[in-house]
Structure 1
Amino acid sequence: MASLRLTDDDVEWSAVRAQGAGGQNVNKVSNAAVLRFDIGASRLPEAVKARLRAQADQRISSEGVVVIKAQDHRSLPLNRREALQRLQALVDQAATVPRRRVATRPTAGSRERRLKSKAERAGVKATRGRVTAD
């Protein structure tokens, strides 16, 4: 699906200071990349937009904006590339149409195994309890 390839033009970028260890460099250089991608305003097909919005992902806001922060690398271009790759993975996941599940009946063997394990478990539980003097 070449039409679903995202570029820098599809997203809004900002650079912020990275968190965590990194010495003096982390305090004076804004190397973390924050990517914002508006699902509604994108050129993605409507079906992909709907599946993307339906994903249970904390990076997708209720307004339909994907926010990804990349800060693993020491350079801004590498962090931008990683953020774009994460967004592309999210879009690729939404682009795949889920296969329709066909309901099937349990096999006779699986039913037999289930009943056997239930009987074994009932036997274990039946041996528990107070001990009576007979």
Structure 2
Amino acid sequence: MMADLIDRAHALAEESFIASSGPGGQNVNKVATAVQLRVNAYALRLAPAVFNRLKILAGSRMTQAGDIVLTARNYRTQEANRTDARNRLAELLNEALKQPKTRAKTRVNRIGKVKRLKGKKARGDLKTKRGKVEW
């Protein structure tokens, strides 16, 4: 399921190479080494819960049209940046597929309740003793 989704995402991804800043010397000025990866989240046909998690995780990287845009420019070569962008997309999808654990409600037993109320009473008594003294 997960590998299938990632393969589908890579197949649907559009890559464009743009001029990059950062390391590379004169090469930066001559070669477009940065990669901009664009995938339409609607085309992935995700379950609504997974899509909502992906939307939250992507944040400002998701456009109004549902495109996820990742820009990779950490490396000097196109191939390294392409691999980086694809790995980041895979990580994003993996995180979206993980279902968060539901919180189990806890209950305090009778002894715990009595202990809590006794503590509250003691604290209240202490505060009343700090009050104004009547002569």
Determine if the TM-score, normalized by the shorter chain, exceeds 0.5.
yes
Q: Distance in 2 between matches of 1:106 and 1:75?
A: 59
Amino acid of the structure 2 residue aligned with 1:24:
Q
d(CA) in 2 for partners of 1:56 and 1:80?
A: 18
Distance 1:18 1:96, change over 3 A: same
Which of 22, 32, 41 is the matching residue for 1:30?
A: 32
Question: How far did residue 91 of structure 1 move?
Answer: 0.4
Q: Which residue of 2 aligns with 1:70?
A: 72
1:82 lines up with 2:84 in the alignment: yes
Q: Is 2:93 the counterpart of 1:91? A: yes
Query: Against the structure 1 CA distance between its residues 105 and 70, is the aligned structure 2 distance closer, same or farther, given a 3 Å change threshold?
Result: same
Residue matched to 1:48: 50
Cα distance in structure 2, aligned partners of 1:31 and 1:11? 17
* Distance in 2 between residues matched to 1:26 and 1:102, nearest whole Å: 53
Select the structure of larger CA radius of gyration: 2
Identical pairs, percent: 36
Higher mean displacement: 59-68 or 48-57: 48-57
Residue 41 to residue 16, structure 1, CA distance change in 2 (3 Å) = same
State how far apart, in whole Å, the 1-side matches of 2:108 and 2:31 are.
60
3-state SS, counterpart of residue 57 of structure 1: helix
Amino acid at match of 2:16: S
1:37 and 1:105 map into 2 onto residues whose CA distance is: 46
Residue 55 of structure 1 aligns to a residue whose secondary structure is helix
Corresponding residue SS for 1:41: helix
Higher helix share: 2
Measured after TM superposition, the shift of residue 69 of structure 1 is: 0.5
Number of positions where the alignment pairs a residue of Structure 1 with one of Structure 2: 117
Amino acid across the alignment from 2:51: K
C-alpha separation between the residues in 2 aligned to 1:36 and 1:24?
27
Given that residues 19 and 33 in structure 2 are in contact (C-alpha distance below 8 angstroms), is that contact kept between their aligned partners in structure 1? yes
1:3 maps to amino acid: D
Structure 1 stretches of 4+ with a deviation exceeding 6 A read: none
